[in-house]
């Protein structure tokens, strides 16, 4: 077994269009357990998943009856290096279509075919092997934006998957266009995308419950380059990498989302300086939000891990391209500083040595 300890974040992976990250079953189980009742009687669609490789399919197929699903649909994508590859969930010769053609699986019932009193993957395997109507080829390439996949998308109640990182904004836009319930994995920096932030501000999308920090391990194709990312190769030669900044994004509610944030610090002007270009104070750590300040505060984007919409209002984003320019109290010019363009990119603090940029900030205030 080979290991390496360094890490590469999802943002860089997205830029390089390294989209083939496959979510571990343990991470899926930890998140999905908080929403089980919301799946009762629903049609679930996993539209970025090779059904024979995906742990999303494995989870929903194995839990089809406990979740009381009405239907499960999964589709594969022709360009995925996994399709027709060597990462089988089902060890059945001839079960999976040969080659790399895209296909779909539609399941409306998983009977207890082996009579053991429980429905599990053995029963799903039997169903796939003996009912040729369950697994069928797609006419197109399986792209989630194709007309064929959109028609399947329209049938669904809840969409659950790990979408391509490089197409995250476009994927979220489609979810919103069709007003779908969803649970998807993405990069925490997606919060700062203008096209995504507006949905967070409007309380139409928020972070899930089970991942708040650290990194997560994903399986990758055999030909994935393992140059700089933290990785391991297991005894069977399967490749895994660890990526930082992973979060679940959803519009499925859960009780913990409405837990009140507990304050322990009081406001002082020395500890909480005001920005030079926004009418807000700097709070560098979410845990340090002062209990006695009612104005606008700039907080890290990871504040959303603790965000209670009943307790706080998201006013905007202090970041060029994502925020509302009207929230700025000052726009810098060359007369202010040589690096005025950099200063205009986000919130700025005035220090004894001059003007200093901070990180992008969410602008929030307490609900009255």
Q: Tell me the C-alpha distance between 270 and 94, whole Å.
A: 70
Residue at which a domain ends, from 231, 256, 281: 256
Cα–Cα distance list, 37 to 14, 40, 59 (Å) = 33, 5, 15
Structural domain harbouring 118: 2-256
Looking at the structure, tell me whether residues 246 and 336 fall in a common domain. Answer: no
pLDDT digits (tens, 9 = 90+) for 216-240: 777 776 777 766 557 778 887 777 7
The pLDDT mean for the chain works out to: 83
312-315-320 Cα angle (round to 5): 135
- pLDDT above 50 for 119: yes
Looking at the structure, tell me whether residues 136 and 44 fall in a common domain. Answer: yes
Residue at which a domain ends, from 210, 227, 256: 256
pLDDT band (50, 70, 90) for residue 117: low
347-354-326 Cα angle (round to 5): 25
Looking at the structure, tell me whether residues 231 and 296 fall in a common domain. Answer: no
Place of tokens 């998807």: 184
pLDDT digits (tens, 9 = 90+) for 5-28: 334 444 444 444 455 677 888 899
CA atoms within 13 A on the CB side of 6: 5
Looking at the structure, tell me whether residues 111 and 235 fall in a common domain. Answer: yes
Looking at the structure, tell me whether residues 103 and 39 fall in a common domain. Answer: yes
Q: Tell me the C-alpha distance between 241 and 8, whole Å.
A: 9
Looking at the structure, tell me whether residues 158 and 204 fall in a common domain. Answer: yes
Cα–Cα distance list, 363 to 77, 245, 274, 296, 301 (Å) = 39, 20, 12, 6, 9
Place of tokens 């919301």: 38
202, 265 contact by CB (below 8 A): no
Instruction: Report pTM.
Output: 0.85
Looking at the structure, tell me whether residues 227 and 119 fall in a common domain. Answer: yes
Looking at the structure, tell me whether residues 175 and 238 fall in a common domain. Answer: yes
Looking at the structure, tell me whether residues 233 and 275 fall in a common domain. Answer: no
Looking at the structure, tell me whether residues 12 and 134 fall in a common domain. Answer: yes
Residues constituting the chain: 368
Instruction: Pick the range with the lowest mean pLDDT from 78-92, 96-110, 139-153, 228-242.
Output: 78-92
Q: What is the total count of domains within the chain?
A: 2
Residue at which a domain ends, from 256, 273, 288: 256
- pLDDT above 60 for 33: yes
Looking at the structure, tell me whether residues 308 and 212 fall in a common domain. Answer: no
Looking at the structure, tell me whether residues 102 and 162 fall in a common domain. Answer: yes
Q: Tell me the C-alpha distance between 239 and 23, whole Å.
A: 13
């Amino acid at each position: 077994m080979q290991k390496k300890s360094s890490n590469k974040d999802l943002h860089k992976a997205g830029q390089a269009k390294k989209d083939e990250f496959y979510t571990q079953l343990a991470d899926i189980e930890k998140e999905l357990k908080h929403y089980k009742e919301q799946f009762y009687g629903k049609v679930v669609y996993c539209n970025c998943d090779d059904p024979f490789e995906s742990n999303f399919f494995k989870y929903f197929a194995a839990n089809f009856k406990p979740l009381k699903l009405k239907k499960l649909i999964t589709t594969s994508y022709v360009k995925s290096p996994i399709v027709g590859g060597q990462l089988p969930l089902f060890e059945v010769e001839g079960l999976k279509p040969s080659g790399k053609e895209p296909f779909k699986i539609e399941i409306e019932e998983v009977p207890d075919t082996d009579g053991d009193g429980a429905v599990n993957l053995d029963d799903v395997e039997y169903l796939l092997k003996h009912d040729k109507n369950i697994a069928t080829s797609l006419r197109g390439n399986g792209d989630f934006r194709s007309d064929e996949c959109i028609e399947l998308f329209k049938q669904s109640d809840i969409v659950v998957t790990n979408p391509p990182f490089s197409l995250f904004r476009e994927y979220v836009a489609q979810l919103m266009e069709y007003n779908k319930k969803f649970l998807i994995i993405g990069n925490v920096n997606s919060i700062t995308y203008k096209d995504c932030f507006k949905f967070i501000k409007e309380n139409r999308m928020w972070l899930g419950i089970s991942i708040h920090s650290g990194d997560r391990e994903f399986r990758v194709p055999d030909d994935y380059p393992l140059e700089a990312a933290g990785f391991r190769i297991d005894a069977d030669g399967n490749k895994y990498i660890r990526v930082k900044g992973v979060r679940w994004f959803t519009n499925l509610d859960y009780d913990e989302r409405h837990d009140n944030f507990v304050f322990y610090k009081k406001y002082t002007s020395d500890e909480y300086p005001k920005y030079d270009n926004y009418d807000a104070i700097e709070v560098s750590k979410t845990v340090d939000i002062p209990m006695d300040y009612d104005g606008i505060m700039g907080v890290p984007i990871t504040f959303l891990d603790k965000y209670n919409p009943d307790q706080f209002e998201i006013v905007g984003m202090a970041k060029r391209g994502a925020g509302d320019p009207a929230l700025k109290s000052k726009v810098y010019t060359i007369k202010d500083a040589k690096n005025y363009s950099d200063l205009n990119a986000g919130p700025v603090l005035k220090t004894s040595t001059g003007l200093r940029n901070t990180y992008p900030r969410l602008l929030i205030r307490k609900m009255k």
